[in-house]
Structure 1
Amino acid sequence: MSTAKDLFITVMDQRPDDPVGQGDLSLALAGAELIDLIGAGAAAVDGELVLPGEDPKPYDRVLDEAAAGLVREAPHERIEDWLWRRGQGLAAGYQAALEEDGELARERGGRLFFGTKHVTPADTPARRSAADRWNEREPVLLALASALGVDAAEPRNEPDLGADEATTAVVAAVLDALMELEAVRQRRSIENAAFANVWRGP
C-alpha cells in the first residue's frame, strides 16, 4: 500500500464521527503521493520545485497516474502548485480506487464519507498494515495525519522526519496549503454572512 492509501484508511479509522474535509484530505493525499514518488525515484525535489526522477515506474497504479502528471520540462512546478493541481478531487479518486480494490466496503449502516455512498474500511491485510504503521507512529504518516487534525487527543509533538529534506519540504508545503484553504473558507464565510445581513436588513 502507498502512503496515500494508508493515510486515507487511517483518517477513516481515526475520525469515524468527525470526517476530514474532502479538500483538506485531497491536499494531504497529493503530498503523500509526492513523498512516495520521491521514495520510488520517480520524482525529486530541488528547493521548492518538483522534478521528474529517473525511474518513471512507481509500484502503484494510482501513483502511476501521479507520475504521468509530473511536469517534465522547465519551468517545473513548485511543490505547492503540485498539491493544488494534483489534489483536485483526489480524495474521491482514492475512495473509488480503494473500493475497486476491495479495501472499502459499502454497508447500509456504514459511515458516509464522500458522496452518497456509505463505506467503511474492509478488514483486509492492507487495513491492518496501515494500522500497524499508525500504531508504530511512522513519521511521514503521523505528520500528514497530524496536519489534518487526526490524533488531536494526544500531545502534538512534531514528528521526527530526520534529515530527509525532500519529505520535510513536502510536509511543510502541505501545512501551508491547508492553512491557505482554511483562510479561503473563513473569507467566504465572512462574505456570505455579510451578504446575508444585507438581505436581512436592519
Structure 2
Amino acid sequence: MTTTATTAKDLFLTAMDRRFAPEVGQGDLSLALAGAELLDLLGARALTLDGDRVVPGAAAALGDVLLDEASAALVRQPPYEQVEDWLWRRGRDLAAAYRRALQADGGLSARRSGRLGLGAVRVEPVDSPARERAAARLEAAEPVLGALAAAIGIGIAADTEAGQAAVPAAAALEDEPVTTVLAAVMDAVMELEAVRRRRSIEEAAFANIWRAP
C-alpha cells in the first residue's frame, strides 16, 4: 500500500476533487503524474537531470510503492532517457494505477451519480488529511503542484486571493531541472491534445464520406 505523501498522489487527489477539477482527461493526468514522479524522485535525490536526460541515482526504497516502481523503471544505461520519452512511457495508464492504489488505501470512494444512483460511476477522494493536504498545497499556490495542475486544467478560481497568487508563484520557479520537467509536461499535454483534434477531424471527414449521396 502507498502511505508516503508525494506530489504525484497530491496531484491525483486534486484531479479527483470536484472543488478544483470538474473533469480531467485520463491521458493528460497520466502524463502529469509521470512528471510529478520525476519531480518526487528529484526531490529524493534518486535521480538528476543532465540537460533533458534522466540520470538515475543509487537505487533505494522510497517508502511509496508507486514511487519505488517509478525508480525501478528508470533507464540505467547511457545515454539515458529523455524526459519527454519518460513521460510517454511511464505515463501509459498511470492514472489508473494511482486510482487502484488510492482506492486500496481507502483514499478514494466510488459511487454512481444521479438521483437514484443509476448514473456513471464517479471516483472522489474521501475526507481525509491527505485530501486536505493536497487541497492546501493547491490553494496556497505551491509552485510545483500548481504548475502541474495548471498544465491539465486543474485550478482554483482566478478571482480568489489564492488564484491571483498562483501565476506569480509558478513564475518564481528557478530550479532548472524542475522547470525542464514542467515544460516537458506542458509540451506532452499539448501534443496529446493535438493528436485528439487530428483524430476528431479525421473521424468527422470519414463520417462525411459515408453520408455523401
* Fold similarity call, TM over 0.5: yes
Matched with 2:64 is 60
Q: Please give the alpha-carbon distance, in whole angstroms, between the structure 1 residues aligned to 2:135 and 2:195.
A: 33
SS in 1 for 2:63: coil
Matched with 1:178 is 189
Matched with 1:69 is 73
Contact 1:105 1:119 in 2 (8 A): yes
Contact 2:16 2:125 in 1 (8 A): yes
Q: Please give the alpha-carbon distance, in whole angstroms, between the structure 1 residues aligned to 2:65 and 2:20.
A: 27
Post-superposition CA distance 1:11-49 (Å, at most 9, x none): 121467731100000000000000000110111111010
Post-superposition CA distance 1:141-179 (Å, at most 9, x none): 000001111127416726135321111000000000011
Contact 1:108 1:118 in 2 (8 A): yes
Contact 1:14 1:151 in 2 (8 A): no
1:93/1:161 CA distance change after superposition, 3 Å: farther
RMSD (Å), alpha carbons: 1.9
Q: CA deviation at 1:118?
A: 3.1
Q: Please give the alpha-carbon distance, in whole angstroms, between the structure 2 residues aligned to 1:161 and 1:93.
A: 32
Q: Please give the alpha-carbon distance, in whole angstroms, between the structure 1 residues aligned to 2:41 and 2:193.
A: 27
Counterparts of 1:110-149 in structure 2, within 5 Å, are 117-149=121-153
Q: Percent identity?
A: 57
Q: Please give the alpha-carbon distance, in whole angstroms, between the structure 2 residues aligned to 1:147 and 1:108.
A: 28
Unaligned 5+ segments in structure 2 are 115-119, 159-163
SS in 2 for 1:151: coil
SS in 2 for 1:157: helix
Q: Please give the alpha-carbon distance, in whole angstroms, between the structure 1 residues aligned to 2:21 and 2:70.
A: 30
Q: Please give the alpha-carbon distance, in whole angstroms, between the structure 2 residues aligned to 1:7 and 1:185.
A: 23
1:31/1:17 CA distance change after superposition, 3 Å: closer
Aligned length: 197
User: What TM-score, normalized to structure 2?
Assistant: 0.86
Matched with 1:113 is none
Matched with 2:161 is none
Counterparts of 1:23-102 in structure 2, within 5 Å, are 23-54=27-58, 56-102=60-106
Q: Please give the alpha-carbon distance, in whole angstroms, between the structure 2 residues aligned to 1:64 and 1:96.
A: 16
Matched with 1:201 is 212
User: What TM-score, normalized to structure 1?
Assistant: 0.90
- Within the candidate set 102, 109, 112, 1:105 is matched to 109
Contact 1:105 1:121 in 2 (8 A): yes
Contact 1:41 1:56 in 2 (8 A): no
